[in-house]
Amino acid sequence: MQPREYLVLAVANLAIVNWLSLVDKTFMWPQEHEVKQNFTDDGHQYDVAIVGGGVVGMALACSLARSPLTKHLKVAIIDSNPALGKRNCINKEDPPDPRVSTVTPATISFFKGDVPFVNSVVDFIVDYHFHWFDLLVYHYCPFQIEGHGDRCLTFPFLLFLHELDIGAWQYIQQHRHAYFDKMQVWDYTGLGYTRYNARDVNKEVLGCVVENKVLHSSLLSCLENTDFRKTIYPSRLTSMALLPSSSSMGVDSTLSTTALFTKGRLAKLELSDGKSLYAKLVVGADGGKSQVRELAGFKTTGWNYSQNAVICTVEHTEENRCAWQRFLPAGPIALLPIGDRFSNIVWTMNPKESSDCKTMNEDEFVKTVNHALDYGYGPHPKSSSSGGPDMFSWLRGDVTISANECFEVPPKVIKLASDRMVFPLSLKHANDYVSKRVVLIGDAAHTVHPLAGQGVNLGFGDSHTLSEVIAEGIAVGSDIGEVSLLRKYEAERKPANMMMMAALEVFQKAYSVDFGPLNILRAAAFNGAHYISPLKKSIISYASGEQKMPFSLPLFS
C-alpha cells in the first residue's frame, strides 16, 4: 500500500471511531500501557514454542521480535544445534561454506527494513500518550488484548504493521554475499538457451547468494539485538501432548500451568534432556524429518527422487557475477556466484555418479565440472544473432534487454575450495499445515527439489505469513493456538507452496528425459522464455517471489 492509501484509511477509521465514541460514550484512553501476561508467571510456560532453530524457525522468531504487536510474546526456541549458543564467529577470510542459499528479492525485502524506527514511534505514542497519533494507531475495544490493554489497533495501522520486515539484512551485508543481476539457463542438446537480466523487469538484482551459516548468524544477531523474551533450549523435542479443550468458553487466565494444560489451553513438550515446557502454540520448524509433524500426526505426500545433489565451493581466476544453470541428462548443474572469486556448485545426478564425484581426486573433479558447464554432453546453443527473435516476433511484445544477449560460456573453474557434500533429494508435502496448537513451517511442511533454489524462500514466506497471522490474533484478542486462526496461515501458504512445487516438478520431469521430440519442445520453451518478453517478465517476477501465480501472463500487454 502507498502511504497516501494508509492516510486515507486512517482518516476514515478515525472518523468512524470518533463518531461511535460520541454515540455510545464508551470511548476512553487507558492511563498506562503495560505488558500483561495472561497467565501465572511460570518459567516453563510460553506463548510460542518454536521447535527447530534453523533459518526458517529463526526468521519467525525475528519477525515476532520486531513487530510491535508480538514483541511482548514469551517464546521458546528448541534446537540442539550448537550454532544457536554462539555469538557471531564467522571469519570473513575463510573460504565460503559449501551450504548456500539463493535468496529471492522477496526474501531480501523481508530481511531488510528499519523496524526499530517503527517500534520507537509506537513506543513514543504509547509512552507519551500523544493523542493525535494515538488516534491513528489505537481505538477503544470492549475486551482486553494482551500487551495492549483495552485498545484495538486501527485497521490502517494493522495493515502497515503487516508490511514490516525483520531487519536482518544489515548483518548479512557485513559478511560475504553475492548479488547477481544475470542468469543463463541452457541444456546439453545445444538447441536453445534463455538469459534473464534484472533490468528486464526494471530491477537491480535477480537474487543474492548467501552462505547458510551467514543467514543463520545474521538472524541470531538480529534476535539478540532486541529485548525479546526468548529462551533457547539446547535440546531436542522427544514428545508432545495436548488434551482436548474442556469448553469453548473463556478460561480463567490466572489458572496454573497444569490446570491450563488439563483444559487443553496449552500443549506440553518434553525434551531429550528431561526438561518439559508448555506453550499455547507449537511451531514445527524442525526440517524435512520433522518430529513435530510426526508427533502431531500430520500425513505427508511425496517421494524420493533417485537423485543426489553434490555441492561444493569452487574458485575462478575472476569474480563470477552471473547465475548459471545447465540441464544435463542426469540433472541440472548450477554455478552460483558467492563473492570474491568463489562460486558454489549444486549438481544433481544419480547416486552412483554422485559417489564417484565425491571420491574422485580434485583435479579430475575440476575437469569434470568444466566439462559439464562447457562442451561436455553437447554443443553450445547458437546465439540470438542467428535470427531466433523473428520466430517469436508475432507474440514477443516489447523486447527485453536480455533477449539481445548472446550465449556465454561460464567462467572456468580452477580449483576446488571446500569439501564435497552429497544430499539425497526428495519431495515431501504435509497434507495439512495446522491443527489445534500446532503449525508447520519451512521444510517441515514442504521439501522441494533444489533446482530453482526456492526451498528456503518458501520457508521464509511461511515465517512471514505466520507472524502476521499471530499478530492479527493478538490484535483481536484471540487464542493464538486456535485452529480457526491458524487456518488463515494455511489458506495463504499452502496454495503458494503447492504451486511452486508443481512448477518445479514439471521442470524436474521435463529435463530428466532424453527423447528427440521432447528435446525439440524444450528448445522451443527455452527460446520462448528468451524472446517472449511478457513470458520472461512473468517468470522473473514469479521466481523473485513477487508474483503469486506463475501463469498470470500478460502475454499481449
Ligand X SMILES: Cc1cc2nc3c(=O)[nH]c(=O)nc-3n(C[C@H](O)[C@H](O)[C@H](O)COP(=O)(O)OP(=O)(O)OC[C@H]3O[C@@H](n4cnc5c(N)ncnc54)[C@H](O)[C@@H]3O)c2cc1C
Applying CB under 6 A, the residues found at the interface with ligand X are 51-57, 78-79, 81, 101-102, 236-237, 285-287, 291, 309, 311, 346, 423, 442-443, 450, 453-457, 459
CB of 220 to ligand X, least distance (A): 12
Contacts of 255 (CB under 8 A, 6+ apart): 39, 40, 263
Cβ-based nearer residue to ligand X, 53 or 339: 53
Smallest distance from ligand X to CB 473, Å:
22
Instruction: Judge residue 423's burial from the number of C-beta atoms within 10 Å of its C-beta, 0-12 exposed, 13-18 middle, 19 or more buried.
Output: middle
* Cβ–Cβ < 8 Å for 532, 557: no
Q: How many angstroms separate the CA atoms of 73 and 147, rounded?
A: 9
Of 152 and 295, CB closest to ligand X: 295
- CA 97 distance to own-chain centroid: 20
Least spacing, CB of residue 15 vs ligand X, in Å = 45
Residues sharing a CB contact under 8 Å with residue 205, sequence separation 6 or more, in sequence order: 105, 108, 179, 180, 181, 198
Q: Which residue has the cell 522464455?
A: 529
Task: Report the nearest approach of ligand X to the CB of residue 177 (Å).
Answer: 13
The least CB distance from residue 424 to ligand X, in Å, is 9
Question: Taking the CB of residue 270, how many other CB atoms lie within 10 A of it?
Answer: 15
CA-only gyration radius of the chain, Å:
26
Grid coordinates representing 103 are 535468496
Residue whose CB is less far from ligand X, 354 or 384: 354
Cα dist. 88→204, 215, 217, 479, 503 in Å?
A: 29, 11, 6, 36, 37
Closest approach, Cβ 504 to ligand X, in A, equals: 11
In whole angstroms, how close is the CB of 387 to ligand X at the nearest point?
Answer: 35
Q: Which three cell numbers stand for residue 315?
A: 574458485
Least distance from ligand X to the Cβ atom of residue 457, Å:
4
Query: How far is 458 from 452, CA to CA, in rounded Å?
Result: 12
Q: Which among 99, 57, 97 is positioned nearest to 346, based on CA atoms?
A: 99
> Smallest distance from the beta carbon of 427 to ligand X, in angstroms?
12
> In the complex, what is the shortest distance from the CB of residue 336 to ligand X, in angstroms, rounded to a whole number?
7
Secondary structure string (H, E, C) spanning 314-366 = EECCCCCCEEEEEEECCEEEEEEEEECCEEEEEEEECHHHHHHHHHCCHHHHH
User: Residue 470 contacts by C-beta under 8 Å, 6 or more apart in sequence?
Assistant: 48, 64, 70, 73, 281, 480
Cβ neighbour number for residue 525 with a 10 Å cutoff: 16
What are the C-alpha distances in Å from 248 to residues 38, 338, 374, 439? 17, 53, 65, 20
Nearer to ligand X, 57 or 147 (CB): 57
How far apart, in whole angstroms, are the C-alpha atoms of residue 477 and residue 36? 13
Cell numbers 569474480: residue: 319
Query: Closest distance between ligand X and the C-beta of residue 526, in Å?
Result: 21
